[in-house]
Amino acid sequence: MELAQTTQQKSAEGHCDHLVQQKRLKGVKNFGRSVKAQANMSKRGQIAVEQQLRWHTTVEEALDFQRKMNQPSECLMLEDHFLGNLNETCLMANADGSVRVIASLAKKKTKKNADDSRASIASPQIGLASGTRGPFAFLAKGVRMDRKSIAKALKDRCPNGSQAIMSPSAHMTDET
């Protein structure tokens, strides 16, 4: 969509098809026709059971303290409206082995971690225990967000207040 300078998915696909048919995409294999990515895999550690137990214990202790300190007891009926969470959701890339890519001529093979890929998009989001959903934040690498297609998606498909936040590494930090 950025290459075709449009916010319409259909016209962007048509433009890409046109460039492939006319063999105008030089520097990529088969002039832009997709090739199969070779699936590979690497084993990496994730969150351990001990870390989850520590987190749940800490949250339970905090809730017990909050309930003890919030008096009168009528406050407990409203606690769900004040109990919130910020959660970083990761959308992980996971291929079933049939991934096709537009590959560079400079590379002999194009590999893609299939099952445990670390390629992801981070999206912190806020929610309350009462069910109220807060805005999404999408972390992107760079200095300035100037993609019209992303701005349109944030406006049309996400809760109010959602935004793309630029950071040097596209990772969640205290500053981000």
For 115-172, how does the pLDDT look when each residue is reduced to its tens digit (9 = 90+)?
555 555 677 888 888 888 888 888 877 788 887 888 888 889 888 888 888 887 777 7
Query: Does residue 137 lie within any of the structural domains?
Result: yes
| pLDDT per residue as tens digits for the range 90-122 | 666 555 556 666 767 777 776 655 555 555 567
Whether 84 and 125 share a structural domain: yes
Query: Does residue 75 lie within any of the structural domains?
Result: yes
Residue 135: predicted pLDDT: 87
96, HSE (Cβ side, Cα atoms, 13 Å):
1
Whether 13 and 40 share a structural domain: no
Instruction: Please state, as a whole number, how many other Cβ atoms lie within 10 Å of the Cβ of residue 137.
Output: 22
Whether 61 and 122 share a structural domain: yes
Please tell me what DSSP assigns to residue 80: G
The two three-digit tokens of residue 121, written as one number? 């998009």
First and final CA of the chain: distance in angstroms?
Answer: 27
Whether 125 and 110 share a structural domain: yes
Whether 98 and 131 share a structural domain: yes
Residue 120: predicted pLDDT: 57
Amino acid at 149: S
Mean pLDDT, range 30-47, rounded to an integer: 64
Quick check: 9 pLDDT over 70? yes
Task: Tell me what percent of the residues of the chain surpass a pLDDT of 90.
Answer: 1
Name residues whose C-beta falls within 8 Å of residue 50's C-beta, 6 or more positions apart in sequence. none
Residue 67: predicted pLDDT: 82
Residue 129: predicted pLDDT: 84
Whether 28 and 93 share a structural domain: no
Residue 116: predicted pLDDT: 53
Whether 22 and 70 share a structural domain: no
Element (H, E) at 11: helix 9-21
Whether 22 and 60 share a structural domain: no
| pLDDT per residue as tens digits for the range 51-64 | 888 888 998 898 88
Whether 21 and 38 share a structural domain: no
pTM over 0.75: no
Query: Does residue 89 lie within any of the structural domains?
Result: yes
Residue 56: predicted pLDDT: 87
Whether 8 and 61 share a structural domain: no
Residue 61: predicted pLDDT: 92
Give the range of the structural domain holding residue 139, as residue numbers without chain letter.
34-167
Whether 68 and 155 share a structural domain: yes
Q: Round the average pLDDT of the chain to a whole number and report it.
A: 77
Whether 6 and 80 share a structural domain: no
Domain count, the chain: 2
Residue 78: predicted pLDDT: 80
Residue 100: predicted pLDDT: 67
